[in-house]
Structure 1
Amino acid sequence: MHPRVLEVTERLVERSRATRQRYLAMVADAASQGPQRGQLQCANFAHGLAGCSSGDKQRLRLLDSANVAIVTAYNDMLSAHQPYEQYPEKIRQALRDIGSVGQVAGGVPAMCDGVTQGEPGMELSLASREVIAMATAVALSHNMFDAALFLGICDKIVPGLLMGALRFGHLPAIFIPAGPMTSGLSNKEKAAVRQLYAEGKATREELLESEIKAYHSPGTCTFYGTANTNQMLMEVMGLHLPGASFVNPGTPLREALTTYAAQQVTRLTQQSGQFIALAHIVDERVLVNSIVALHATGGSTNHTLHMPAIAQAAGIQLTWQDMADLSEVVPTLTKVYPNGSADINHFHAAGGVAFLVRELLAGGLLHEDVNTVMGRGLSRYAQEPFLVDGKLQWRDVPTASLDENILRPLARPFSPEGGLRVMEGNLGRGVMKVSAVAPEHQVVQAPVRIFHDQQALADAFKAGELERDLVAVMRFQGPRSNGMPELHKMTPFLGVLQDRGFKVALVTDGRMSGASGKIPAAIHVSPEAIDGGPLARLRDGDVVRVDGSKGELTVLIDAAEFAAREPVLSDLPANVGTGRELFAFMREAFSGAEQGASAFTRNLQSLT
């Protein structure tokens, strides 16, 4: 093992010792009760099986048959989740074939950040993760189940499902993906039309036509944003079947993987004799593996929020410093948009997750001796699935990448490090993803222009007010202010300025997610402005240095003068409309960004 990986793992274990022990004790207590439906009163049990077929009722009365909860994020407005419409019946039939039962235990909401981007609904996006976690807990609260299957893909959905599932960590669990849509208009062409539109050189009709050609069918969007990063992480964490993440919807292989997953989860139950609970998969080593894979692929910065929150749900105290220290020694092995021109289908065809796992294992950068849904050992995930005479089989991945423009071996990385920086200085503490930022653009020192919403920046751009070196500050966008919406509406305008030769950077207490690209962006800055953080004391014209190479985030002003300034108050309208008023209690409870921007952090730390 690489010494840095061991060092981070060991300190994570030590830091988490007390909370992890309490979490595992909770899990052991729940597991000791055996099949949960066997503990129910007769009337309770009768309610739980009243809607079942006669055959399923009889199986449920036999405690040696597994009852599998299905928790689904299906809706047909999200292309990624539309394929899930038929999954419950396919899963139920696969379980009946082996004498088990499946019940849809509950549904969770699934909103699309792509649809709500720049709209008021985006302010519910991060909060939806907490709602999903709670909805998952409600679904599993009936104590009818011996195992669980989770159907979810996109940005907040998988983290929320996993956070909720971990509070029922005594249950075996498998996450079942639906796969990415086939490739449409290239990401490079799509980005070019967006930038032309921002400059007024393309019409709205041309922009819409471009977007429809890019997002054209059921399946996950094909760029390497948060949704596809989720899928890669679930696979490397051993919560998917090997090779399951990026098989397209509606294909025979996709169907076979779904059937196998449904049946595999029953093999992990107490009745099977091969019991592996979710809590015994997601441990400190698996979390370190997930961060290594995140860096090696240049994955979404949203996971600097999600992974600490997921870790908290498992009683583990993961920090940004852990993540940044791993980034220093993990090479970048992939180039997928927005870090390159290829999409996720090209990555999968070049060797995909299996190739990535094999290379990282060979370099001592991943823990091999971990539990997975396929049993002990991560090396199984260096294999990829095939159908042979209609039967599912796994083979070792080819020894060479089929396209080194997309996926490279450890000996020839795109970069010697993963590209995540912890940004620190007198403006607070945040993160920057530099893997998509050219070296010559990683350091910007310029006067600031302060904005409190994205439309104000767009208006200033169109009025010609930003034609200079610029650090754009977008404040009052943190979790406690307005729910921490994504801020991608600014990206085309700042990209145009950079292309015109200006030095441009962004600083915000908000977030940019997996589609953040070529502009150096210090994001998730905390303390956030609404809590009187340093961003609230900035004024237009202050000179700020954003140094992505060294991780510096500073305003160049006398310390005493800066400290003496009164923080500016937000001038944003009240969080009312589009249901935002219902989430006021959650915004008040949100932790800081480094603690996952979660409403649960304080409670989980005290209870586990």
Structure 2
Amino acid sequence: MTKLDSRIAAITDRIIERSKPSRRRYLDLMRDQAEVGMTRPRLSCGNFAHGFAAAGEDKDAIRHLRGPNLGIVTSFNDMLSAHQPYERYPAQMKLFAREVGATAQVAGGVPAMCDGVTQGQPGMDLSLFSRDVIALSTAISLSHGMFDGIAMLGICDKIVPGLLIGALRFGHLPALLVPGGPMPSGLANKEKQRVRQAFAKGEATKAELLEAEAASYHGAGTCTFYGTANSNQMMMELMGLHVPGAAFALPGTGLRQQLTRAAVHRLAALAVDKRRPLAEAVDERAIVNAAVGLLATGGSTNHAIHIPAIARAAGIRIDWTDIDELSAAVPLIARVYPNGVGDVNDFHAAGGMAFVTDTLLEAGLLHGDLAAPGADDFAAFATNPRLDGDALVWDETKASKDLALLRHAHDPFLPDGGMKLVSGNLGRAIFKLSAVAKERWTIEAPAAVFEDQDSVVTAFKEGRLDRDVVVVVRFQGPRANGMPELHKLTPPLGVLQDKGFNVALVTDGRMSGASGKVPAAIHCCPEALNDGPLAHVVDGDIVRLCGHSGELDVKADLATRPRAAVPPPALGTGRELFGFMRATADDAEHGGSAMLHAMESAL
């Protein structure tokens, strides 16, 4: 194995040292749960009988403790393309479990909302906090004490982090995520983007826009751009929480079914041997691997929020300074839409996660000594699965089949990961350099200040933004309105940029891995509602955003300014139900969670 790069080692060591007290408390709790926590043998007869009353042909095996019983936590719904394939998984997984002397039960379900459906709509204000709800739902599902291992069925934006955060409270058990795969490629992403911008300019009808969107999002599976959902799958592979190569096999294929079967067999074996519990698997090395993969592949900026949150659930402290320094050490080796032309299916065909894992291991940029639940040896994640007849086999993948999309670490697209921490008198924020042409990494222009994205769109349509401008959208943080994604802004700001204007976005809201092209300082901390600097910016202030130097500054004395009036909380679409979460949420750099601080206080 190649020696670990000294920069990666140093950052990992710093995270380990910083995390020692909280990590120790977490591991002590998990050891206690393993020794005296709820399990089938410790349930009273009445409790236990309730647990197997409707178990059908598995009833006798569960009752007499013949083999491990796996708890399935599912995010199935058939409105969302990515989660629709999970409908048949539990029945299949029960059959696969019986093949190895195990049983499986659906422990419970979690909600799965789609930012693609709620983009720019009131429901988006619930999106980030749905991660906490999913974590809580996962904990409720597993609280019955009936299970020896955890199979998590989830794939999209907040669902995977939420499942993992919840499952980590049962980290004394082994666990795997079981993905569903991406939908087949549809309308080319560049064409979809062209139609969106044409619609923003009034040059395409709504019917034409809907036709393009329906041709892009057309079947079962995740959306094929490299956004948060597909970044999730990449990270789970590099944390060892899948069986090798499971991320991007298409739904409804024999290969996908055999990968699910392999996951069930693997999880049952871990449960029998009481090996590689989730608490040990998700350690500082695994968290660093996730961050390295995110940077190397140009993944979603949403994970600058999710990685710290997942880490905290395991007692680990990672911040944006760590991610920024990792970015300086990790080369960009993938160009997947929106950072390139090809989609995730093209990425997978070019070598995919097996190639990424192999080249990053060869360059010493990954921890290859993980206690990965998905395989005995982490090197197995440098292989791609295929079917040989009915048998599942894995092949080494050491060459890229498309150098325009996927390159070796020694010959990257960029020498760094392209996710930059920018800071200054406007706070700390994330700038995804890898999505932006280098000549646009520095923007200095007058501010145009807004309190919501609809006001930006209106100003754009009225021609008030036809100039060099830094669009500031504030009161979009976790405490203000739940930190919605501002994806609605991408087409109009892209149009302004195409007109030749110097344009940038600065916001305490979110943008996703589906966003790019326009320079953006996002997730600003502290958020405006917490009297962050953005609350004191006014129209015309000169704002400077520089990806080269890491600057995020305004040329004004903000201390002499009153804070802008805070917009009233929005009502309707259930948003009022989440007021208690907004009131206690952490900032984005700490994970944007309403739950984790309370959890830590209890330890």
- What is the TM-score when the length of structure 2 is the normalising length? 0.98
Task: State the shift of 1:35 in Å.
Answer: 7.8
The answer as to whether partners of 2:224 and 2:344 remain within 8 angstroms in 1 is yes
Change (3 A) 1:599 1:35: closer
Corresponding residue for residue 217 of structure 1: 219
Corresponding residue for residue 370 of structure 1: 370
Confirm whether residue 515 of structure 1 aligns to residue 517 of structure 2. no
Corresponding residue for residue 360 of structure 2: 360
The answer as to whether partners of 1:181 and 1:221 remain within 8 angstroms in 2 is yes
Corresponding residue for residue 278 of structure 2: 278
Corresponding residue for residue 470 of structure 1: 469
Deviation per residue, 1:346-365 (Å, 9 max, x gap): 00000000000000000000
Q: Which amino acid aligns with 2:325?
A: D
Corresponding residue for residue 319 of structure 2: 319
Corresponding residue for residue 348 of structure 1: 348
Local SS of the residue matching 2:309? helix
Corresponding residue for residue 148 of structure 2: 146
Q: Which amino acid aligns with 2:299?
A: G
Task: State the shift of 1:375 in Å.
Answer: 4.0
Corresponding residue for residue 172 of structure 1: 174
The answer as to whether partners of 2:176 and 2:374 remain within 8 angstroms in 1 is no
Q: Which moved more, 1:307-316 or 1:368-377?
A: 368-377
CA–CA distance in structure 2, aligned partners of residues 138 and 441 of structure 1? 47
Corresponding residue for residue 30 of structure 1: 33
CA–CA distance in structure 2, aligned partners of residues 604 and 520 of structure 1? 36
* Unmatched 5+ stretches in structure 1: none
Confirm whether residue 570 of structure 1 aligns to residue 566 of structure 2. yes
The answer as to whether partners of 1:475 and 1:510 remain within 8 angstroms in 2 is yes
CA–CA distance in structure 2, aligned partners of residues 13 and 145 of structure 1? 31
CA–CA distance in structure 2, aligned partners of residues 552 and 378 of structure 1? 39
The answer as to whether partners of 1:80 and 1:221 remain within 8 angstroms in 2 is yes
Decide which of 160, 163, 171 is 2:162's aligned counterpart: 160
Corresponding residue for residue 592 of structure 2: 597
Deviation per residue, 1:491-527 (Å, 9 max, x gap): 1111011111100000000010111201110001011
Task: State the shift of 1:61 in Å.
Answer: 2.3
Task: State the shift of 1:582 in Å.
Answer: 0.5
Confirm whether residue 458 of structure 1 aligns to residue 464 of structure 2. no
Task: State the shift of 1:308 in Å.
Answer: 0.3
Change (3 A) 1:93 1:376: closer
The answer as to whether partners of 2:38 and 2:144 remain within 8 angstroms in 1 is no
The answer as to whether partners of 1:315 and 1:604 remain within 8 angstroms in 2 is no
Q: Which moved more, 1:32-41 or 1:413-422?
A: 32-41
The answer as to whether partners of 1:350 and 1:407 remain within 8 angstroms in 2 is yes
Deviation per residue, 1:529-565 (Å, 9 max, x gap): 11111101011111110112211110012x3xx2011
Corresponding residue for residue 292 of structure 1: 292
Local SS of the residue matching 1:32? helix
Q: Which amino acid aligns with 1:26?
A: L
Corresponding residue for residue 444 of structure 1: 443
CA–CA distance in structure 2, aligned partners of residues 128 and 552 of structure 1? 32
CA–CA distance in structure 1, aligned partners of residues 164 and 447 of structure 2? 39
RMSD, aligned α-carbons? 1.1
Confirm whether residue 114 of structure 1 aligns to residue 116 of structure 2. yes
The answer as to whether partners of 1:153 and 1:231 remain within 8 angstroms in 2 is yes
Corresponding residue for residue 189 of structure 1: 191
Q: Which amino acid aligns with 1:255?
A: Q
Task: State the shift of 1:274 in Å.
Answer: 5.4
Task: State the shift of 1:58 in Å.
Answer: 1.2
CA–CA distance in structure 2, aligned partners of residues 156 and 411 of structure 1? 33
Change (3 A) 1:135 1:274: closer
Task: State the shift of 1:64 in Å.
Answer: 4.3
The 5-angstrom pairing of residues 53-452 of structure 1 reads 53=56, 55-269=57-271, 272-273=272-273, 275-397=275-397, 399-452=398-451
The answer as to whether partners of 2:277 and 2:373 remain within 8 angstroms in 1 is no
Q: Which moved more, 1:585-594 or 1:366-375?
A: 366-375
CA–CA distance in structure 2, aligned partners of residues 237 and 30 of structure 1? 23
Corresponding residue for residue 578 of structure 2: 583
Displaced runs of 4 or more, over 3 A: 374-377
CA–CA distance in structure 2, aligned partners of residues 241 and 550 of structure 1? 40
State the aligned residue count: 600
Local SS of the residue matching 1:227? helix
Q: Which amino acid aligns with 2:566?
A: S
CA–CA distance in structure 1, aligned partners of residues 255 and 569 of structure 2? 49
Identity %: 56
Q: Which amino acid aligns with 1:257?
A: L
Task: State the shift of 1:376 in Å.
Answer: 4.0
The answer as to whether partners of 1:49 and 1:60 remain within 8 angstroms in 2 is yes
